[in-house]
Amino acid sequence: MTTWRLIDTGLLDGPANMAVDEALLDCFDPTNSLPVLRLYGWSPPAFSIGRFQDAAAILNLDKCREAGIPVVRRITGGGLIYHAEELTYAIVCAPRQIPPAPSVKDSFRVLTSFIFRFYGKMGLDARYAVDHNPSGTRLGTRSPLCFAGRETYDILVEGKKIGGNAQRRLKNVIFQHGSIPLRNCLAIATPFVREIPPSLTEETGALADFGVSISLEEIKGLLLEALCESLATAVTPGELTADEAALAKRLLTENGA
């Protein structure tokens, strides 16, 4: 059984959250480091864009500044996400530290398996979009908004996309993070987005939409149970190392936060 580090950084602002994710990835030694599961939240709420997106093309940045909503860039790809009432996770590991996964898609399936088990513990029937796909539904379509896209391995509950997950690969290192929305906050986010797909609100969901009303601490507990069961691992709570904390602080300074 592999032991994972659990780092719960609680609520941080957008720039700090992205700096910590990047520091965890940059400091990870695929030969000697233990796998990492980080849990975190966002305060104040923020938008994050994928590493290849043009923020100004998607968002009204002036309105974001006036409303005090930070806009940050993730180290993974994908579309725009509004982070408010959610639990976010990040995983850093070496390929050898998870069950065999010969391709990137296979590793994505392995590292989202605990999300499925987590939703199942709350009585929710989660499926990949490819497994739910109604006749005639087109998959593989990308959108500037994460929750508006329908790709093969997006996770759906009752046909609605719930959260988003993205992966980045470096040499012998896997980084993956994702969002678990507690409540649906799209109505707050949409006034800042330049183009809104007409069916967005009908095609996305959050835990509260499916009748889940347990506390955040209970949700975290179920998520940890699901990870340990799915990956046959144990977790040891801890903090950022001195090197990780120092690098996160430096990244914040370099990025002007």
Task: Please tell me which residue in 27, 64, 93, 146 is annotated as part of the active site.
Answer: 146
Evaluate if residue 248 carries a pLDDT over 70: yes
pLDDT at 199: 65
* Domain total of the chain: 1
Confidence of residue 149 (pLDDT cuts 50, 70, 90): low
Average pLDDT of the segment spanning 162-189: 92
Structure tokens at 193: 């987005």
Helix residue ranges, H only, 141-241: 186-189, 216-231
Evaluate if residue 78 carries a pLDDT over 80: yes
- Residue-wise pLDDT for 179-197, tens only, equals 999 999 988 999 999 987 7
Average pLDDT of the segment spanning 42-53: 94
Coil, strand or helix: which one is 109? Answer: helix
Helix (H) or strand (E) holding 254: helix 242-254
Confidence of residue 102 (pLDDT cuts 50, 70, 90): confident
Q: Which positions ≥6 away from 91 have C-beta within 8 Å?
A: 35, 36, 37, 38, 111, 174, 175, 176, 177
Domain boundaries, position 197: 2-254
Confidence of residue 143 (pLDDT cuts 50, 70, 90): low
pLDDT at 256: 65
CATH code at position 190: 3.30.930.10
Are the CB atoms for 138 and 73 separated by under 8 Å? Answer: no
Q: Is 146 a catalytic residue?
A: yes
CA distance 128 to 137: 13
Distance of CA 166 to the CA centre of its chain: 7
pTM for the structure as a whole:
0.91
Confidence of residue 203 (pLDDT cuts 50, 70, 90): confident
